[in-house]
Structure 1
């Protein structure tokens, strides 16, 4: 009995000791408390703070005011260090120290230095260490055979000069239509449009060791049951504030690299089908490549147009201006459209049509039919222009567009007048002839071309010689080297329908990255640099791709985004898969300083360096 009483007393006493501690841990008499795990002198680590950027985190400020912040992600063995400073305003925006560049499926080590302040008392903390484990990368497969691997796992760094070892490249690829998810609707009010570009996207950042350091969990942005909230993501640009602007389907958006939404908007109701290009203007407005939601043709038919309208929207999403290209240019110029390889009309890949072109009879039959939509043809409501980039020229308040299906780079003023056309002269009506640029050599002498300036000396696979661009992607003004008279332009010359022909053998096709110098006063153009001819067909990208100047390293970044994609002309089947390749060149160099190749990733679209100083400043 005595023993039993002693046990009871002990149990009661133990319970009295335990219960108050449990209550205090969840609030209780001492009040609410935060009991997240805190490794250092400030707050807990919050992974994926906004749900879209799983390889990012925030070390919460713990109630302190933080300043003088430096962050370093300790690399894997032989890996690339990511280091950056964080401004005081960014620390306030994120409620702590933003962490970017974590490795997936890894116990990451983070070093931070900062000054913490509370009630006038400050403490400097140097090289405090935090550790955090990340999960695997959740990039959903499309189920499409265009994607045969994980896009960031099979990366080969072929060449890397030391000046570029700190580079981070954002890569925007597409793995094809989601089987069973995409294009389950008809965009028919009125007829036409380009909704069928309703595909999956892979958007990620790699370092120069080929390791993924960030990705966008874009499935969290999409609602595949909502026609207005899905589509392929395109037109990525890094804004001056470091955030990314881009669009998909019927939306245009802006998010920062931590995944924080800045805006996510439907296109204005008069327009549909964003793709390719969202250019951020110096005044904070945006230029969007869209199409008309409802336009009445000269024959009285109402249609949706296809990739042939540019709009300017302000910070609030209101329309400032529009460029209806079917009114400014000639939607019936068919010289290029007739000779396009119908197997690869940008992202409309169809192996059964490889090598086929449009005859005059087929084109005429189409023009009198009600065949509208995302089909290569002439007239409003068909894919006659296929504008794939828009760039703003502040010097004279104009836009520069790349029109794939006219094989032309065109400058258009605010008054909607064509200022110049960089492209083959053949097929342009009298109205546009004064705008056509005359090729010249480095001595200012005219270069003469055959067949109404469509076959210039460099159109064959030679080392040197001027050529125009053919079914090109991207035409970007090099602002740092241009002025009011002279404009430097980078472009990716895909090379299909070169010289308005298809070669006897598809293996004769090649692509180029090219730079032109345009004298706007004398209406002349000089080709000052090119790369790609020497690579021949193995570097040929029939669709997509990019070439762009970057001031920070005085370099040209090139993404040959579908290099290696080949087809059997007789059987109509794919032979080779795309092997997208990033190449970066010092200004004027004949060979790249960086060469990075991807395998099994599907179709590449664009790639570009990311500047962390902008992101966290």
Structure 2
């Protein structure tokens, strides 16, 4: 009995202690640094340089946040989270902390309890954010992330910009490329790479990064793949795709959606676009396509689908039924040392021969070849034109930009005329100068009077990336597009000296009624081989700043392949009118990475 009484007494004491540390007594279970709630770091597990100051049970509104830059020139990140944003996060969202550093964060807000009179408060927090952690490349990597070096200080209108950088790890990792499709055969599953995704300010300091391993699972075929196509949506959140999925998260890492591709499609990569109709265009491939020889294959980077917000497929564009998957003209002159993600120094400058390209026994998959089931197209962007409900696609392996209507009919083809069969020739655009005078090009319109000149003239694009519709420059019957012209296969050949290659950002004005095209702007040719990006990259016009954003994402890769230099991507903001570089940053110490794209980020928009 005495033992039983002792046990009961101990139980009461333990119970009281439990209440005292945050049970039914209602005592706080955390220590608040300021006048509301606790600071929760990385609240959604995927954005470690973010936090939330919890509301502590108060009603919070009219908030302003300033994450202070480091002393001696650090950049403040200032934004005013909306009242809806405060409700969404259960407190004040903190974005843009420096890693491995005690950050000073100033917040102002009004707080109240149960509709009582509100109290205005301004206070400073000290918030430590831990060091950056990402998986290593397994190579001679010199840092966690490449080092950003500012070579042209930011003009005032870009000073407070942030840039999302999207790189892929070129080195073979144990958790990459561990599975391929085999029934049917083909597809692009062997290109499953880990990615590095982070944001830098205009000092080159890291202010955000994505902890991929919370999203990507290398042991699950439907949760692995290359994270690509990052874009900031109109609501400030980020959307992108990855292998068999596409997803959207806000800047604090809160998942908005993470969806598997519809079952008929596989292998998202390169590009996703949110249209003005509130649908999404995705560059994918067919999961099962019957060939004319009665075999079944998975296709490679040659299908566009449109899905609604529920993931329902609204439409599809099977490009092997619209274009000519057997046009080999450009494929025969591709530099096999850099076929987009496939970078191989041992094959630098080499090309394939016609017999190998068209061999019926050639393997299916992400290989240079013709016909459905091989990488004959390699579409790397899709842009929606809402004026006529059409899509504009960049078809890298055809060195062509093509506009296609909802009816699956071609509207025009911007590219060298050589190699197109008779049925496609009526869609080929005719180059003209600024006065509308016809420009005559040699060798079936592959060599125009500007493809080798230092200034001026006209040229088509070659193995290009990101053909984007520019609404603010376009008008009835006329459309303007911006493109990153990588420059491999320029003139439909490999030059005698690889160092004569160059890349450029270029704009074209297309009269869709007369089928004429004028080159109206270019930048990069004058920078020569140093600016040459054999693969990847982006060019986009931003009307707010009247500037052209360019990321030559594999600048220096050509030198690396020739053993005369190293890859150092170059990010530029260029004034459209004057072509003056208003900001430039380079990335060093790439390790085993290959640059894919970058994108300007508007923090204020993210918390509206």
Q: Residue 121 of structure 1: SS of its match in structure 2?
A: coil
1:355 to 349, 353, 367: 349
Aligned to 1:142: 137
Cross-structure match for 2:45? 51
Q: What is the match of residue 427 of structure 2?
A: 435
- Structure-to-structure mapping, 1:276-287, within 5 angstroms: 276-287=270-281
Q: CA deviation at 1:153?
A: 3.2
Q: Which residue of 1 aligns with 2:193?
A: 199
| Partner residue, 1:94 | 89
Aligned partners of 1:64, 1:483: CA distance in 2, in Å? 52
**Are positions 1:272 and 2:266 aligned together?**
yes
* Structure 1 equivalent of residue 335 of structure 2: 341
Give yes or no for contact 1:52–1:220 (8 Å, CA) kept in 2: yes
Give, in angstroms, the shift of residue 179 of structure 1.
2.1
Over residues 82-124 of structure 1, what are the superposed CA-to-partner deviations in whole Å (9 max), with x where a residue is unaligned?
A: 1011111111111011111000000001111111232222334
Q: Among 593, 597, 613, which residue is 2:586 paired with?
A: 597
Distance 1:339 1:273, change over 3 A: same
> The residue matched to 1:576 in structure 2 has which SS?
coil
Counterpart for residue 237 of structure 1: 231
User: Offset of 1:360 from its aligned partner?
Assistant: 2.1
- Are residues 411 and 258 of structure 1, via their aligned partners in 2, closer, same or farther at CA, if it must alter by over 3 Å? same
Which of 21, 34, 56 lines up with 1:26 in the alignment?
21
Partner of 1:609: 600
Distance 1:98 1:574 in 2: 47
Say whether the 8 Å CA contact 1:144–1:179 is kept in structure 2. Answer: no
1:253 to 230, 247, 250: 247
Other-structure match for 2:210? 216
In structure 2, the partner of 1:576 is 565
CA distance in 2, matches of 1:166, 1:357: 45
CA contact (8 A) 1:440 1:526 kept: yes
- Between the aligned partners of 2:119 and 2:556, the Cα distance in structure 1 is 54
Q: Please, which of 410, 433, 437 is the counterpart of residue 418 of structure 1?
A: 410
Contact preservation (8 Å) 1:294, 1:305: yes
Match of 2:546 among 554, 565, 573: 554
* Alpha-carbon distance in structure 2 between the residues aligned to 1:574 and 1:341: 16
**TM-score, with structure 1 as normaliser:** 0.93
Which of these residues, 91, 102, 105, is aligned with residue 100 of structure 2? Answer: 105
Structure 2 distance, partners of 1:103, 1:335, is: 50
Shift of 1:174: 1.2
Cα 1:415/1:26, change in 2 over 3 Å:
same
Alignment length, in residue pairs? Answer: 594
Q: Which digits, 9 at most, give the CA deviation of each residue in 1:428-480, with x for residues without a partner?
A: 11211121111111111111111111101111142111100000010011122
Aligned runs of 1:372-411 on 2, under 5 Å?
372-411=364-403
How far apart, in 2, do the equivalents of 1:556 and 1:127 lie? 39
Equivalent residue in structure 1 for 2:296, among 292, 295, 302: 302
In structure 2, distance between residues paired with 1:295 and 1:527: 38
- Residue 573 of structure 1, CA deviation: 6.7
Residues 144 and 374 from structure 1, CA distance in 2 versus in 1: closer, same or farther, beyond 3 angstroms?
farther
CA distance in 2, matches of 1:96, 1:177: 41
Query: Structure 1 CA distance, aligned partners of 2:18 and 2:266?
Result: 57
Q: Which deviations, in whole Å up to 9, do the C-alpha atoms of 1:396-455 show, x marking residues without a partner?
A: 101000000010111000000000111111111121112111111111111111111110
**In 2, Cα distance between equivalents of 1:53 and 1:224:** 20
Post-superposition CA distance 1:190-241 (Å, at most 9, x none) = 1111011111101001000100000000121111111111111001111111
Tell whether the 8 Å contact from 1:152 to 1:211 is kept in structure 2 after alignment.
no
| CA distance in 2 between partners of 1:88 and 1:574 (Å) | 55
Partner of 2:3: none
Report the equivalent of 1:9: none
**SS of the residue 2:117 aligns to:** strand
1:476-530 C-alpha deviation (Å, 9 max, x unpaired): 1112222332111110000000010100011010000111111111111111111
**Counterpart in 1 of 2:125?**
130
State whether residues 157 and 595 of structure 1, in contact with CA within 8 Å, keep that contact through their aligned partners in structure 2: yes
Partner of 1:15: none
Distance of 1:157 and 1:73 partners within structure 2: 25
Q: From 551, 557, 575, give the equivalent of 1:586.
A: 575
CA contact 2:557–2:566 (8 Å) conserved in 1: yes
Equivalent in 481, 484, 494 of residue 492 of structure 1: 484
Asked whether the 8 Å contact 2:59–2:114 carries over to 1, the reply is: no
Partner of 2:115: 120
Q: Deviations over 1:282-305 (max 9, x none)?
A: 122110000001101111111110
- Report the alpha carbon displacement of residue 143 of structure 1 after superposing the two structures with TM: 1.4
Q: Give 5+ residue unaligned stretches, structure 1.
A: 1-17
Structure 2: distance between partners of 1:449 and 1:294? 41
Please state how far the C-alpha of 1:68 moved relative to its aligned partner.
1.1
| Unpaired stretches in structure 2, ≥5 consecutive residues | 1-12
The answer to whether structure 1 residue 530 and structure 2 residue 510 are counterparts is no
Select 2:158's aligned residue among 144, 159, 164.
Answer: 164
Cα distance, 1:370 vs. partner? 4.5
Q: Is the 8 A contact 1:577 1:600 kept in 2?
A: no
Q: Is the 8 A contact 2:488 2:494 kept in 1?
A: yes
Kindly provide the CA deviation profile for residues 288-339 of structure 1, in whole angstroms up to 9, marking residues without a partner as x. Answer: 0000011011111111100000000110011100000000000011110000
Distance across 2 between alignment mates of 1:120 and 1:150? 48
